[in-house]
Amino acid sequence: MTSAPTTEPGLTTSPPQTPGEAPGRVAPRPRRVVPLWGWLVAVVVIWWVASRIGDGRAVLYLPGQETTDFQDRFTDLKADLIAGRDTNVLMQVVGAVSDAFNGVVEQLQGLVSTPDLPRPVPQIGWLGVLGIAGWVSLAIAGWRHALGTMASLAAVGLLGYWVDGMDTLIITFFSVAVSLALGLPLAVWMGTSRRVNAVVTPVLDVLQTFPAFVYLAPMALFFSLGPAIAVAVTVLYALPPVVRISAHALRSVSETTIEATTSLGQTGWQRLIKVQLPMARPSIIVGVNQTMMAALSISVIAGFVNGPGLGKPVLRALTAGSNQVGVAFIAGASIVFIAIMLDRVTTAASERSELVARGGGGNRRTHRIVLAVAGAAALVSVYVSRTYFSFAEFPDTEVGPKVAEAVQSATDWTTSHFSGLTTGVQETVTTVFINPLQDLVAGSPWFVTGLALIVLSQLLAGWRGALSSLACLTGIYVTDLWYDAMVTLTSVLVATLFVMVVAVVLGVWMARRRLVDRLLRPLLDAAQVMPSFVYLIPVLALFGPGRFTAIVAAFIYAVPVATKLVADGVRQVSETTVEAATAAGSTPWQLITKVQLPMARGNLVLAANQGLLFVLAMVVIGGLVGGGALGYDSVLGFSRGEFFGKGVSAGIAIVLLGIMVDRVARGAAERDRSAPGLLARLRTRTPAHHLS
């Protein structure tokens, strides 16, 4: 038995020695590890030096009016498909589907929006539409949302876009119906089979990475312009949300519940119908909501391919220039009214289904009586709208023209009085941020930029991220649009930088102040449901056409989703951790920078990921207002048939850019899920009860 060492007064003990270490030798200092930001800075510095040496050589620039053999293959393929439409089996099948889509849309238009000849008006006039829409909203969401639905549709009519608004709803609802018919069975299959889920999930990831604009080019190979291609593109774009969310909801049903139903002798079909689907119903309705909003956003973009609806007047106003801002505004406002209406009704339907499933929802007998009375009123409104002309065709009003004139006057006044300020902001951002970054990314030799991006991907996301970047950059090189892709990437990076700065400031403010959250969150929700086209209207009026306009519109479009993600991440930091840091003497600034933001790092990376994808989608649409690069190539491919192949190649390059930034951001999030070291240090400085 040994006794503990003692220390004589005035003597000090030597530090403990490691096994095998010679007595009296000082232990070696631990090696310094270079932090991640140090490596990132080093790569950027080397990249900049190499770009100065390269001095604009080997940038692979291709003028807008030139094409390559790779791009011409797509143009020739389109010509061959059109020429062989009568003999090609695939084109015959697609033609039959196209005819069916056109037939359904025309029938629905004759029902509610356009004259159903020989009737000079639709079968159901505006009053009947309001009655039916109000009754449906009452049944699934409640009386407040029924009133909101009727008010929103009436506002669209008062602005002068009743017919276009109804056409937008027709394309949206028909596309959602097709998406649900295809997506829900696939979601059930994914939710009940791990193998199917493993196969389909990567496909959904890729589809959701595509900007909406990109879907137009490949579908134009098979469908002719008009309602059919609008429906086909909308279905393809809107399908992934309902499949992914519904499959996740089915997989999330408790294993204990599944085992209990199995022990009771239920078959797999009975378990699905009586247990899994009812328990997953609220989430499925959320999936329907997301699918509906996606369908609405791209049904507007379908105006490019002659799809009916509100996309046409918005597109006409945007291409007409700044003197049409007022017209574009009221068309955009009509889209916003419809978007908010659909979002609120479907969200309320999800909440109501959950309440009813738990035995709430009020008196059911009273609810049925109210529905019966409202249904009778809706039938009367349908009859009146079929009988009287004034209730069939929405009357002309002066509301829309007056609003457009007021908005145009305000725009003209703003541009004339603040042109110096807007020009100064535009020149400063362009000189300080856009031009230097574009010189680095797009102005460097292509192999220098490619190698730098791959190394940065490895540092941020590991070897998987580097391999993904290598594959995507190789594909971009093959499209012969390297320079344009790098210019687009520059705009994406600049816009995302500003998005994250604003998102962090607003997100932290919202997380730390409940009043600020209550005031800002409804605004962010409303901004998030607006189709991307709407954001181009005010920005174009302020700054005129150009790449800066595309960047600002992308910034406005992406800020809401990034801000909400940051706010939610900061709010999720446990109160005990915040209390511990406060007890340790942290100031509010230290609390934000040393505790809350580091512990919300996963949400910050996710916000950057979503911000990048939103920005990329909007920067491409910015090609309409002089954004240039891949956006210009895409628009050129639609507007002129001889450049169709270049437009398709631009779409491929856009998708590859999206996949690359998505994979790098996701890889960075997966590598950085551990809690920051400050929490461990706090444990040594604060009483145990603060961290229990």
Residue 34 is predicted with a pLDDT of: 67
For residue 450, CA distances in Å to 61, 455, 470, 485, 501 come to 15, 9, 8, 12, 27
At residue 91 the predicted structure's pLDDT band, cuts being 50, 70 and 90, is confident
Q: Is the pLDDT of residue 690 over 50?
A: no
Residue 3 is predicted with a pLDDT of: 47
Taking residue 348's Cβ as centre, other Cβ atoms within 10 Å add up to 19
Per residue in 363-374, pLDDT tens? 678 878 989 999
Return the higher-pLDDT residue of 532 and 112. 112
Q: Which of 43-57, 246-260, 464-478, 496-510 has the weakest average pLDDT?
A: 246-260
What is the C-alpha to C-alpha distance for residues 227 and 308, in angstroms, rounded to an integer?
6
What is the C-alpha to C-alpha distance for residues 552 and 621, in angstroms, rounded to an integer?
12
Q: Is the pLDDT of residue 14 over 70?
A: no
Per residue in 551-605, pLDDT tens? 888 888 889 888 988 888 888 888 888 888 888 888 888 888 888 888 887 778 7
Per residue in 461-494, pLDDT tens? 888 889 999 999 999 999 999 999 999 999 888 9
Q: Quick one: average pLDDT of 144-163?
A: 93
| Cβ neighbours of residue 8 closer than 8 Å, sequence gap 6 or more | none
Which secondary-structure segment (H or E) carries 462?
A: helix 446-478
- What is the rounded average pLDDT for all residues in the chain? 81
For residue 414, CA distances in Å to 135, 358, 422, 533 come to 43, 53, 10, 21
Residue environment code for 253-265, b if the CB has 16+ CB neighbours within 10 A, otherwise e: beeeeeeebeeee
At residue 677 the predicted structure's pLDDT band, cuts being 50, 70 and 90, is very low
Q: Which of 18-32, 37-51, 108-122, 222-236 has the weakest average pLDDT?
A: 18-32
Return the higher-pLDDT residue of 291 and 376. 376
Q: Quick one: average pLDDT of 499-520?
A: 90
Residue 226 is predicted with a pLDDT of: 82
Q: Which two tokens stand for residue 621?
A: 């649409």
Per residue in 243-300, pLDDT tens? 888 888 888 777 777 777 777 777 767 777 777 777 777 778 878 888 888 888 776 7
The pTM assigned to this predicted structure is 0.78
What is the C-alpha to C-alpha distance for residues 666 and 672, in angstroms, rounded to an integer?
10
What is the C-alpha to C-alpha distance for residues 434 and 418, in angstroms, rounded to an integer?
22
Per residue in 400-429, pLDDT tens? 889 988 888 888 888 888 878 888 888 888
Q: Quick one: average pLDDT of 19-42?
A: 64
Q: How many helices (H) and strands (E) does the chain have?
A: 29, 0
Secondary structure (DSSP) of 471-526:
HHHHHHHHTT-HHHHHHHHHHHHHHHHHHHHHHHHHHHHHHH-HHHHHHHHHHHHH
Residue 157 is predicted with a pLDDT of: 93
Tell me which fold the domain 418-674 belongs to: MetI-like fold (1.10.3720)
Q: Is the pLDDT of residue 456 over 90?
A: yes
Q: Is the pLDDT of residue 17 over 60?
A: no
Cβ–Cβ < 8 Å for 530, 339: yes
Among 50-59, 421-430, 462-471, 535-544, top mean pLDDT goes to 462-471
Per residue in 318-339, pLDDT tens? 766 555 778 888 888 888 888 8
| Cβ neighbours of residue 538 closer than 8 Å, sequence gap 6 or more | 325, 329, 411
Cβ–Cβ < 8 Å for 153, 133: yes
What is the C-alpha to C-alpha distance for residues 615 and 102, in angstroms, rounded to an integer?
33
Q: Quick one: average pLDDT of 194-200?
A: 87
What is the C-alpha to C-alpha distance for residues 266 and 274, in angstroms, rounded to an integer?
9
Return the higher-pLDDT residue of 525 and 171. 171
